[in-house]
Structures are given as structure tokens and as C-alpha cells.
Amino acid sequence: MREQPPYLRIADVIRQRIADQEWTPGDRLPSRAQLAQECGVGENVIRRAQELLISLGVLEGRAGSGTYVAAPRERLRMVRSQYREQRGGSPFRADMSSLGKRGTWESRTEAKVPAPAGIAERLGIAEGDLCVRTAYEFLVDGKPAQTSTSWEPYEITSGTLVVLPEGGPHAGKGVVDRMAEIGIMVSHVVEQPEPGQADAEEATLLGVQRGSLVTRIRRTYFSDESRPVETADIVIPAALCEIVYEVPVTADARGKPSASNDQPLR
């Protein structure tokens, strides 16, 4: 059996000392040098252990002050479901409203951006074909909760009132509503979640430590003709949010409940 890395062992020690109420929320931890001496390890090991616990929301770092025990944080429950797309307006705003919170976002759109190879494959277009790219920073009660970068084929929306997702009379509506305005019916969406770590840019936008655990969701909307009309890369910090998928259940021919194969997750 491989020996546990020293920083993980120290992280467990710190967590246990917090659990034993040696340190309580708001308390400042001893200096790294003092902890290193107490634990018989180098300061670099203490630093890595603290960075891990900061990414998990156990500790918080305060510039120029030190490292503190974080107050328990309520994780946002983000439900991914087919029903979220059947409402009018923004699904994110509706999701947050259901939690009694205010969901807002900031965005930056660029039109006529050549599609990189990976995005082109997801959209079923040629590499270099023009797209509309929109970068989002989603906020909950004014605090960052997730980021998303959306790509739409320019040929689909060019010359229409929905060419800019955050501009014109239909600004701020979800993909489903916007596409319906130009006669495209979105029939399903495919989402592929996977764990990851925040890079430097993501950490800055989300207000978390670099390397913090995140969930990445690769999402693609399809029309009723199975044509991809939008794809996005969503990043959600694991310490702040939990993601729940609702799977619809229908009755089969024998009247028994079964998970539907033709009702996609959204």
C-alpha cells in the first residue's frame, strides 16, 4: 500500500484539531513555521495542506493576515433537470429564485470567432467556421458561483435578433427560448460532467484557490433535427455548490415505471 503523502496526513491532523474544537470558526491558525515545527514537517508541506483545506472550504486565507478556520458554508444545490428548460426566461435565474437567492451574471460576447477544433467537432461544423462566443460569470447574491463559455454557430443566428445572446430584445433568455424565436426547436441537451481543478484564471473569477476542486460540465443543445445549436463549458466550484441531476421516470408498456431513454437531462 502506498504511503499517504505528508500534506494529506497534515490536512487530516488540522481537520481533526478543528473537529476537536481546538480551533473554531474565525480562529487564526498558528504560523506555518510553528505548525511545521509541531508536526515535524517542512513549511511547504504545511502550505500544501492548507491550500487543500482552503479549496475544500475548511480554511480561508486572508492576505497579509494569515489562515483562519472558515465558518461553515451552505453549499448551493444546483439541480440539472429537463424541467428547468421548460420555463420562460433564464434557467439560472429561476433556479436561484427557487432557493430564495438572487441570480445574476456578467457576460462578454465576441461575434465571428473561428471555432477551435474541439468546439467545431462538438457543433458539427468545420474547424475555423465562425461562431458567437460568450463568456459568463454567474453570481449568487453578488458572489461568484460558476463560469461558462458558450459557442453558437454564427450561420444559425446571423442576421437575426438573437445573434447576440446578451443583446437585443431577447437578451438574457435561455438557449431554448432564443432558438424558438427563429423557428428552431431545441429537443434535447447532453451534459458530460467530470471533476477537475481550477486553473489560475478560473480561480480568480470564482474567488477560490488555484487548484481547488471544481466540476466541469460539457453541455451541448440539439435541435429537433439533431443539429447542435450551442455548446458550452461550465465550471462550478465543488466547495460552494453541489450538483444534482433529476432523471424523469415514465411508465413502460406494462405500466411499470422506468427511466425514460428519450427524456434528456438539462
So what's the pLDDT on residue 254? 55
So what's the pLDDT on residue 208? 78
Longest CA–CA separation in the chain, Å: 69
So what's the pLDDT on residue 52? 84
Query: How distant is the alpha carbon of residue 12 from its chain centre?
Result: 27
So what's the pLDDT on residue 156? 97
First-to-last CA distance in the chain? 41
pTM: 0.70
Reference 137, options 242, 40, 235; nearest CA is 235
pLDDT in tens, the chain (266 residues): 467 789 999 999 999 999 899 999 999 999 999 999 999 999 999 999 998 888 777 888 887 889 999 887 677 778 777 666 655 667 788 778 878 888 899 999 999 999 999 999 999 999 999 999 999 999 988 888 899 999 999 999 999 999 999 998 988 888 999 999 999 999 999 999 999 999 888 888 887 777 888 999 999 999 999 999 999 999 999 878 888 888 877 666 556 655 544 444 33
So what's the pLDDT on residue 263? 42
Reference 115, options 95, 92, 133; nearest CA is 133
Reference 50, options 26, 32, 73; nearest CA is 32
